[in-house]
Chains A and B, each alone.
Chain A
């Protein structure tokens, strides 16, 4: 479905995830973060960029993998994105909800 985020016309699925990564930009991310009650700091951005890079490499994302990434440990990941961090962070950075759960 079509929605307007920070002035940009964006297509999202029923759970609010972007369906086309080319529509993502940093202002969209700022607004999605605000909706999740998160204020993005440089540390948040490092993690978001890491998630995007992993997604581009077609790596399956999981809490376990992030914990072993060397970018952030699980404890800090939860401090940055306190509620359902992986789902929240992937939504903010414009990539699909991780399909690690079958």
Chain B
């Protein structure tokens, strides 16, 4: 019997277990998935928890209920991967050999990377919302906060869901308006990027929204330290931004397991072929979701599109066929803009988000890069889709793994140029 081992039972790993369970059957194959945690979190929900839109029950379920029966779930800490010997060493000394390994250990916050971030003000006036604990602590803070300077801040790229901090700023604007205290809150959005987002067309649309909502933007800010005493953030160029409440997205890193195994880059992400999802170091090791270093967004939608392509490539690998170089960096993200509206963006490695309709060209019903209530309904419906379709590996109707260009308003010149830049 051959062994396929998946490390990590989060969004990516769980989807992969469900996909492969249809194709790799006992007694020829045993699929095993390893994770030390008890619960599966709907991570997009961390954005809504601080504003009392979702409660913890909405976003936490057990890992077991999404793992198929024939897949063995091992709840254990993983000590290290020995890729040259094709085996996993679990905490406590148990070893597990594999024929094929899928790394899906994700990414998480590392506030200790920035001086003073996890200092005396941590979870008093300095918060994150990229962890369940952080998001819950922030909810409790916001329930009683009386106003002042709110600074929403990104430490460095890449981060999971690069639009989430913007959504946080938009939702905060809406939240304080409903509490009739918007005039007591000054909101500043601080980013290491040159503008609100990484792609020009979306940046333009989003900066317009920031202005409309009276949110200040400070760009090109590379944080050096958090000054807990004076309650300010300081950048390497000496720029200083004071805060009463700092909501920061700390540096994101891959799991320390990859560092222990000598398989990660300087942020513990695994070097991966961006089109095939095979690791660059070992041909029987594949990487899915946030754990890889591919230049795509770290987002559930990306993991979902990757999973469809990786399933095919794993089967090709088993049959000794060449891998398909098919993954195009496809991402699809709703952006909450407050007041029960949202934007939708759809893009890939070479095509930036533009206006248009989705998923049906010319019809929608979702509008790309434009605020609408329908998009907001889409975002809320997505939680149901996540628990009931996405994790189980069910194909989402009309949405393909690679991006479709129809229904999108590309400026021909811009497209060619961005393609050119990406090839350089």
Contacts and interface: CB of A to CB of B under 8 A. Distances in A.
Interface in B304-348: none
B162 to A, nearest CB: 6
A77 B236 CA distance: 9
Nearest to A100: B157
A99 B295 contact: yes
Given A19-B424, A64-B267, A96-B424, A102 B157 contact: yes
Contacts of B192: 63, 101
A77 B297 CA distance: 28
B70 interface: no
A62 interface: yes
Contact of A13 (B162, B296, B421): B421
Interface string B140-167: 0000000000000000111000100000
A38 interface: no
Contacts of A84: 194, 220
Interface in A57-83: 60, 62-65, 68, 74-75, 77-78, 82-83
Interface residues of A, number: 23
A87 interface: yes
Given A74-B224, A102-B198, A68 B420 contact: no
Given A74-B224, A101-B157, A102-B297, A64 B194 contact: no
A101 B424 contact: no
Interface in A12-59: 13-14, 19
Contact of B266 (A13, A65, A87, A101): A65
B220 A83 contact: yes
B193 interface: yes
A74 B421 contact: no
Most B-side CB within 10 Å, residue of A13, A63, A101: A101
B62 interface: no
Nearest to A78: B236
Nearest to B413: A14
A63 B193 contact: no
Q: How large is the interface on B (under 10, 10 to 19, 20 to 34, 35 or more residues)?
A: 20 to 34
The prevalent SS among residues of A at the interface is loop
A102 B158 contact: yes
A83 B220 CA distance: 8
Contact of A19 (B193, B224, B420): B420
Given A13-B421, A19-B424, A62-B156, A87 B295 contact: no
Contacts of B67: none
B237 A83 contact: yes
Given A100-B157, A102-B157, A14 B297 contact: no
B157 to A, nearest CB: 4
A62 B159 CA distance: 14
B249 interface: no
B145 to A, nearest CB: 31
Interface string A80-100: 001110010000000011011
B74 to A, nearest CB: 32
Contact of B198 (A13, A82, A96, A101): A101
A38 to B, nearest CB: 14
Contacts of A102: 157-158, 162, 198, 295-298
Nearest to B417: A13
B222 interface: yes
Most A-side CB within 10 Å, residue of B157, B158, B238, B422: B157
A68 B162 contact: no
B193 A101 contact: yes
A48 to B, nearest CB: 18
Contacts of A74: 222, 224, 236
A79 to B, nearest CB: 9
Contact of A64 (B266, B297, B420): B266
Contacts of B224: 74-75
Interface in B403-424: 417, 420-422, 424
26 contacts: A13-B421, A19-B424, A62-B157, A63-B192, A63-B222, A64-B156, A68-B266, A74-B222, A74-B236, A75-B224, A78-B222, A78-B236, A78-B238, A87-B194, A87-B220, A96-B421, A96-B424, A101-B157, A101-B162, A101-B192, A101-B193, A101-B198, A102-B158, A102-B295, A102-B296, A102-B297
